[in-house]
């Protein structure tokens, strides 16, 4: 059962191991694709049409304080 859940990850790793490892490392280091030095490196590689959505930006949906009477 557990191995069935890991099968898509293993297939992706076997198809493109360098890209998978790079994505894993950039995610672990929390690098943003829209900031240097990663942005400039991607542009040198010919990848200029990437979109990045920052889910960590402060949009007021974080914890809020309440008062209970």
Contact (CB, 8 A) for 33 and 50: yes
CA angle 9, 28, 19 (to 5 degrees): 50
> What was the pLDDT predicted at 60?
64
Give the helix/strand (H/E) hosting 43: helix 38-44
Q: Which helix (H) or strand (E) covers residue 65, if one does?
A: none
Reading the chain (69 residues) residue by residue, the pLDDT tens digits are 677 888 888 888 888 888 788 888 888 988 877 778 777 877 887 776 656 555 555 566 778 888 888
pLDDT at 58: 56
**Residue 12 to residues 17, 27, 36, 43: CA-CA distances in angstroms?**
8, 16, 27, 24
Give me the pLDDT at residue 49, please. 64
């Amino acid at each position: 059962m557990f191995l069935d859940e890991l099968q898509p990850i293993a297939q992706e790793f076997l198809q493109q191991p360098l890209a998978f490892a790079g994505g894993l490392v950039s995610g672990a280091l929390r690098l943003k694709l829209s900031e240097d030095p990663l942005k400039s490196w991607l542009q040198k590689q010919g990848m200029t049409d990437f979109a990045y959505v920052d889910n960590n930006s402060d949009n007021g949906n974080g914890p809020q304080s309440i008062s209970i009477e």
